[in-house]
Amino acid sequence: MRILLLTLLLLAALGHAAPVMAEEPKPRPKATAADRPAGPLTPEERRFMGVWRDGYTLVFDGRDFCADTQPGEWYEGFIRIRTDVEPAQLDFVILVQSGQPNGNTSEAIFRWDGDTIEVLAPSPGSPRPPAFAEKTEGLVRLELRKDGKSKFPASHCLGESR
């Protein structure tokens, strides 16, 4: 025991820190509608408005979004956009998942390619991808194109028929 104590004291004196056990990450608090950003829409938020498709259907109505991902699975919530960082950030704050309260956030990144939005999104609660990369294991990559034929807003996706 004395040897261990002397070793730790010696390491501290030489500027080495004693090993610290990593703490488990604390779960994030659940989001609520009260967390929705307020104020006028930004030009970037207005650019997102409409019906977008890539196998999935996403509808952006102001800061509100809904997504139909597969039969029986849908999401509703709001978005937060940051374009002052690179890559630009798009948070999907999921308030409802397939009819059940949720409150998780998928912290995605996005970029525009003409009229297409490329989105790289992790599972809710997973870390935001640092950049666009070829390997996207565990991430959803979407290349969303605006659907000019769908009526907007799409009532099927904004709760009117759910």
pLDDT digits (tens, 9 = 90+) for 46-55: 999 999 998 8
Bridge partners of residue 143, in order along the sequence:
118
CA dist 49 to 42, 59, 77, Å?
11, 7, 14
Q: Is the pLDDT of residue 5 over 60?
A: no
pTM above 0.85, yes or no: no
Q: What is the pLDDT of residue 16?
A: 43
What are 9's two structure tokens?
A: 């004291």
Helix H or strand E segment including 6: helix 2-13
Q: Are strands 64-70 and 139-146 parallel, antiparallel or unpaired?
A: unpaired
